[in-house]
Amino acid sequence: MRPADTRHRGPHPADGELFAPRWLPELRRATAEMSWLLTRGYPPGGTLKLVGDRYSLTERQRWAVGRAACTDEQLAQRTTKQLPAADLGGCPVAIDGFNLLITLETALSGGVVLRGRDSALRDLSSIHGTYRAVQETDRAIRLAAAALRPLHPGPIRWLLDQPVSNSGRLAARLRDLGPELGLTWTAEVVMNPDTVLADTTDIVVTSDSEVLDRAGTWLNLAALALQAELPRWLLDLSQDEAAG
């Protein structure tokens, strides 16, 4: 990846207004209501429209609510399968590469990072099939490594989406940094990381809802990594608020 890449993965120009503190109670209520409806079998698309219309949310606000919400069953299962920040005893770890790094890059760039109902951290970025390194990319990799080292993981696999351009460059950068950061890891470019992550017996690092529901144990590595450098903009939608 080119050192000349000087972009940031910061906030959308409208985020200052869309996610201003005055919106937080309504976004939390909307998340709680959507989760309540999903728990009772309502379809996600129609439910998000219903809740979004009720609170007059913009498309980007609806996207945040949709990413933060989950059913009670999903919450219970994800909570049960989430590992604490404790010694991993040499167990192998599989990382959803773009999923983790883009969230960390967003946090370090001052963009909006969501804490969902399941405690996973998610961003509102979209790479649209193309990934470009930003100024915060190496810092993000180092933060992830710093959070992993004290947990004593076994072999670590970074999985990157082959259809996303520049995935090969990112894989090469990860391989270069591994020895320097004192971790045994590989970086693989695969057609569909989600399928690999859902089927593996490794500890999984991701915030992808579908993968979390199918995988075994998972580690909330983004949250652990950002304990060292707190996100400048954390939108906490994990707390239920009674509708008014």
Residue ranges of domains in the chain:
15-236
Residues 50 and 59: beta-carbon distance below 8 Å: no
Segment 72-88 shows an average pLDDT of 97
Q: Is the pLDDT of residue 2 over 90?
A: no
What pLDDT, in 10s, does the model give residues 179-204? Answer: 999 998 999 999 999 999 999 999 99
Q: Is the pLDDT of residue 32 over 60?
A: yes
Instruction: Give the Å distances, CA to CA, from 187 to 45, 97, 106, 171, 200.
Output: 35, 9, 21, 5, 16
Instruction: Give the Å distances, CA to CA, from 110 to 68, 103, 235, 238.
Output: 19, 11, 12, 20
- Region of poorest pLDDT, from 19-33, 118-132, 177-191, 196-210: 118-132
Rounded Cα gap, residues 22 and 25, in angstroms: 7
Percent of the chain at pLDDT exceeding 90: 88
Smallest CA-to-CA distance from 91 within 142, 141, 148 is with: 148
What pLDDT, in 10s, does the model give residues 189-244? Answer: 999 999 999 999 999 999 999 999 999 999 999 999 999 998 989 999 998 765 44
Smallest CA-to-CA distance from 123 within 231, 6, 241, 238 is with: 231
pLDDT band of 129, cuts 50, 70, 90 = confident
* Mean pLDDT of the chain, nearest integer: 93
Q: Is the pLDDT of residue 126 over 80?
A: no
182 conformational bin, left if phi > 0, alpha if psi -120 to 50, beta if neither: left
pLDDT band of 123, cuts 50, 70, 90 = very high
Q: 0.85 exceeded by the pTM?
A: yes
